[in-house]
Structure 1
Amino acid sequence: MINWYSAAKLGHYFLNEVIKPGDITLDGTMGNGHDTAMLARAVGPEGKVYAFDIQERALDNTRLRLAAEELMDGRVRLIQDGHQNISQYITDSVKGAIFNLGYLPGGDHSIITLEENTLAAIKQALKLLLPGGRMVIVVYPGHPGGAQERQAVEKLLENSDSREYKIIKVNFHNRPPSAPGVLLIEKAGDSFEGSASR
């Protein structure tokens, strides 16, 4: 059953619909490794996950999570660098990507994703996205800088080519404006066209 009321879990559902074993994927905000582990399970031993975070604590926590789930078998590459540098590490096309913006849960809340870095990362990730591939961006407007980052991301996506990208915004209607939201981007191609023909 889908947990429609958790922004992060909803994002996982959207990605698991299209990611298959052997695919290449991207976690632009590793955090505590929940998204990285989800992608690792989805791509299987033959797939690949590139996961980014600037904080050593995030890498340590993610390694522990992956080890506990027996996913440290070479399918995941943990990268301690900002997601604005994605193109320095990835040249392959990706089937799925996720960005969980904001700060590291349980970490220093003053270290947050920054608008200019996030926009640069999203632009790079969109170029890597395969036709039929999906990107999920979970936005958190409740912390200082979060609302401005969400607005900047939404403006970027509003100006994208509607023939190339199909975009859905999910907000929880009966929760405060500070509640997390989800942006789903699907690149036009096989997956989208296939679902439209049914």
Structure 2
Amino acid sequence: MKNLQITHWCHEIIRSQAKAGGHYIDATMGKGNDTVFLCQLAGEKGSVLAFDIQKEALEMTEKKLEEKGLADRAKLILDGHEHMDQYAKEESIDVICFNFGYLPGGNHKIATCPETSVQAVSRGLGLLKSGGMMSLCIYSGGDTGFEEKDRILAFLKQISPKIFTVITNEYYNRENNPPMPVFVFKN
């Protein structure tokens, strides 16, 4: 059985839908695992924009990309994901990947928050090409995790079904508020 952790599950769905050589956004860079994955998908003809507000995340991601020979495929941006529309044109992105919460192993007081996360998702929807998709790993818990999850899901519930298809998933038999993988497809 393949790994069923949320990030691996999301990568499999992205891989099944995304075209190689596309243009991608890692909206929450963290330790760079999603950035590396998207750079591999991008190949030599594609590109990746990766966002984080922590310099530590940018430095870890930069190092990981250099080690794997992928640094030329990504632009690492020290800015909040809610500003992604300042770096990409409308309807120019094939995939946007989110991992909400805090930097693994980092300061838990520095985490995504409901207001900016909903703004980022909203702006990201405008950046998606027709046929593009968004992957959201939503973690509950922490100081704002439950509120963030509720706000993101409420926002996604009200977007146009004529333009977007939203699929939520859950780990049904896991305790302690497991993360929720959500996928948005632009029709």
Q: 5 Å matches for 1:22-37? A: 22-37=21-36
- Give 5+ residue unaligned stretches, structure 2: none
Could you say which residue in structure 2 is the equivalent of 1:196? none
Measured in 2, the distance between the counterparts of 1:145 and 1:83 equals 17
1:20 aligns to what SS in structure 2?
Answer: coil
Is 1:182 aligned to residue 181 of structure 2?
A: yes
- What is the CA deviation profile of residues 27-55 of structure 1, one whole-angstrom value per residue up to 9, with x for unaligned ones? 10000000000000001011010000000
User: How far did residue 101 of structure 1 move?
Assistant: 0.2
- For residues 45-94 of structure 1, the C-alpha deviation after alignment (integer angstroms, 9 at most, x for no partner) is 1101000000000001101111121111x210000000111111111610
Question: What percentage of residue pairs aligned between the two structures are identical?
Answer: 34
Q: Which runs of 4+ in 1 moved over 3 A?
A: none
Tell me, what secondary structure is at the counterpart of 1:108? coil
Aligned to 1:48: 47
User: When the two structures are superposed, what TM-score results if normalisation uses the length of structure 2?
Assistant: 0.96
In the alignment, structure 1 residue 86 sits paired with structure 2 residue 89: no
Which structure 1 residue ranges, 5 or more long, are not aligned?
189-198
How far 1:142 sits from its partner (Å)? 2.2
- 1:138, CA displacement in angstroms? 0.3
> TM-score when scaled to structure 1?
0.90
CA separation in 1, counterparts of 2:2 and 2:75?
28
Give SS of 1:32's match.
coil
Q: How far, CA to CA, are the matches of 1:40 and 1:131 in structure 2?
A: 21
Matched, 1:102 2:101: yes
CA apart distance, 1:117? 0.5
Q: Does 1:16 align with 2:15?
A: yes
**Residue equivalent to 1:159:** 158
Q: After TM superposition, give the deviation of residue 22 of structure 1 in Å.
A: 2.1
Residue 24 of structure 1 contacts residue 49 of structure 1 at CA under 8 Å; is this kept in 2? yes
Give 2:69's aligned residue: 70
Pairwise CA RMSD of aligned residues?
Answer: 1.2
Question: How many residue pairs are counted as aligned between the two chains?
Answer: 186
Corresponding residue of 1:140: 139
Q: Which amino acid aligns with 1:35?
A: D
CA distance, structure 2, for counterparts of residue 21 and residue 99 of structure 1: 19
Question: What is the SS of the residue equivalent to 1:91?
Answer: coil
Q: Which amino acid aligns with 2:85?
A: S
Inter-partner Cα distance in structure 2 for 1:81 and 1:185: 23
